[in-house]
Amino acid sequence: MNFGLNSTDLNDINVPSRFGSALGATAAFFFIFFGIIGDSLIIAAILSKKELRTNLINIFIVSLQLNDIFNIGFNQFLVGLSYVFMKWHGPYLLCEIFVYTSIISTGSLLWHHALISIYRYLVVVCNFNVNHYGISPKVYIILSIVVARLIPVLVCMPAFKSRHMTEYSSIALRCMLAPNVSAFQNLLIVLINMLIPCLIVIVCFVYIFAKVRNVSKNVRNPHKSKNKSISASHCSSSLRREIRITKMFAIIFTVFLFGYLPYGIIRLIDKDNDFHPDFYVFLTVLFIISISISPIVYGLMNNQIRSQCIVILNKLFTCTKVESGHKHFTLVLDKSATKKKLSFKREHFKVAANQEFSRVENVAKSNIDLTLPKLFAESTADFSTRETGKKLSLSDQQVNLISAKKRSSFQKSSDSIALKQEVLNDDGGVYIGPT
């Protein structure tokens, strides 16, 4: 079921104008997506580096960013949809759930800042060490995160049990707490979810800045310091770190209050809906902006987180460029490899040819040296054969047959020597041996 007004009612003074709704939807979705991407990048930067994820403060930051992602991605996304459709886009049950999740998300964010400020107060002002008192840092972190989320849920429990605690508001284009909610429940939500955590943050930050200022004076005037055992360089580096961390959370808390308090104050004052609905659109967008820009503050105020975010972004863009140019790179690499293989084969062939030429030359020389004595011996044997034939009274026909065989053998040896010598004189050929 969708809640809203008909097209004939869009000109009513209690409904935001088309221009105001369109402008609000555009700004809302821009900062919604910006906040989700920024919060996810901060979480990835902290969890991807051991040095960052083992720091207690950074674990609080991760919990805060997860809370902001839920608040932006669910609550404020539904608000943006209501501006797009000029009415609540969804069932009434979702409209009721939206009211309670908005209260819980806002209260959880404020209690996160309150517990962080308490921890900073204990560390900076009281020199509190978690390990010194036998408390595990992991247990302290888990306990703080659970408490930051449990308190807002417990505050909303009376409203959960009651019926008709929400109603649709045409001015805001979403559900809100109904006017019939008891004063006690309103006071409980405002006091515990808003005033107490804000008061804790302010008091702790005042003490922290006072302590830091006192230490800063002692560093500038070491002869007036009561504790002279601490080196000035150590105090100076530690002082700068504490000032940077404290300023970071103070800025985030101030930005959130700057976006949240105007809307809350106007809703308390404007019981009769005297303000124009477009003004509520402006206050809602201002609240969305105050939640979405926290990653910018973390990136500017924390050098380690900023450096790790840059590393992650460089890896993402590098992977994209490598994927887009992968085919071209592979083609160039294949061409280079082919050229290297051809060059290697060409050099290998030259070396093998030179070796073969040397081998053929040596074989030819050795054959010549061996053939000449053999021919001389054969000639001597032929002469001896003739003499022997004469002595043995062999027939002339038999002697001629023997001499012919010897001449044929001599002619073959001569032809082989000439052929080998011709191969040696040919620069372009390669001797492959006798067939």
The string of DSSP codes covering 177-215 is E-TTS-HHHHHHHHIIIIIHHHHHHHHHHHHHHHHHHHH
Higher pLDDT pick, 256 / 342: 256
Nearest residue to 421 via CA among 364, 374, 340: 364
Nearest residue to 53 via CA among 114, 138, 144: 138
Average pLDDT over residues 189-207: 91
**Distance between CA 281 and CA 24 in Å, rounded?**
6
Q: What is the DSSP string of 50-70?
A: HHHHTSHHHHHHHHHHHHHHH
Higher pLDDT pick, 191 / 373: 191
In this prediction, residue 5 has a pLDDT band, given cuts at 50, 70 and 90, of: very low
CA-only gyration radius of the chain, Å: 47
User: Is residue 267's pLDDT more than 70?
Assistant: yes
> What DSSP element (H or E) covers 169?
strand 166-169
User: Is residue 250's pLDDT more than 90?
Assistant: no
Nearest residue to 116 via CA among 163, 172, 60: 60
Query: What contacts 24+ positions apart, CB below 8 Å, involve 211-218?
Result: 211/124, 211/125, 212/124, 212/239, 212/242, 212/243, 212/246, 215/239
User: Is residue 434's pLDDT more than 50?
Assistant: no
Mean pLDDT, the chain, rounded, equals 76
Residue type, 9: D
Average pLDDT over residues 375-399: 51
CB 211 within 8 A of CB 124: yes
What pLDDT sits at residue 102?
92
Average pLDDT over residues 63-76: 94
> Exposed (0-12), middle (13-18) or buried (19+): which is 190, by Cβ within 10 Å?
middle
In this prediction, residue 425 has a pLDDT band, given cuts at 50, 70 and 90, of: very low
In this prediction, residue 429 has a pLDDT band, given cuts at 50, 70 and 90, of: very low
What pLDDT sits at residue 293?
92
User: Is residue 329's pLDDT more than 50?
Assistant: no
Nearest residue to 248 via CA among 58, 407, 107: 58
CB 112 within 8 A of CB 63: yes
Nearest residue to 249 via CA among 73, 60, 108: 60
Residue recorded with tokens 């104008």: 17
Task: Select, from the ranges 306-310, 357-361, 413-417, the one with the highest average predicted confidence (pLDDT).
Answer: 306-310
Q: CB-side exposure of 361: number of CA atoms within 13 Å? A: 11
Least confidently predicted of 91-105, 229-243, 382-396, 397-411: 382-396
User: Is residue 243's pLDDT more than 70?
Assistant: yes
Higher pLDDT pick, 109 / 329: 109
User: Is residue 226's pLDDT more than 60?
Assistant: no
CB 149 within 8 A of CB 115: no
User: Is residue 399's pLDDT more than 60?
Assistant: no
**Distance between CA 201 and CA 195 in Å, rounded?**
10
Q: What is the dihedral of CA 190, 191, 193, 196, to 10 degrees?
A: 140
CB 51 within 8 A of CB 305: no
Least confidently predicted of 7-16, 325-334, 338-347: 325-334
First to last CA, the chain: 97
Least confidently predicted of 43-47, 64-68, 378-382, 431-435: 431-435
Higher pLDDT pick, 351 / 119: 119
**Distance between CA 255 and CA 35 in Å, rounded?**
14
In this prediction, residue 37 has a pLDDT band, given cuts at 50, 70 and 90, of: very high
Residue type, 375: L
**Distance between CA 151 and CA 154 in Å, rounded?**
5
| DSSP SS3 for 433 | coil
Average pLDDT over residues 271-292: 89
CB 86 within 8 A of CB 181: no
In this prediction, residue 93 has a pLDDT band, given cuts at 50, 70 and 90, of: confident
User: Longest C-alpha distance within the chain, in Å?
Assistant: 157
Give the angle 323-325-329 at the CA atoms, nearest 5°.
Answer: 115
Strand pairing report for 166-169 and 174-177: antiparallel
Q: Which two tokens stand for residue 109?
A: 């964010």
> What DSSP element (H or E) covers 321?
helix 303-324
**Distance between CA 304 and CA 299 in Å, rounded?**
9
Higher pLDDT pick, 58 / 165: 58
Global pTM? 0.68
DSSP letter for 133, please.
G
What pLDDT sits at residue 196?
94
**In DSSP terms, which residues pair with 166 in a beta bridge?**
177
Residue type, 199: L
Average pLDDT over residues 122-137: 74
Residue recorded with tokens 């969708």: 2
Residue recorded with tokens 């001015």: 171
Q: CB-side exposure of 216: number of CA atoms within 13 Å? A: 11
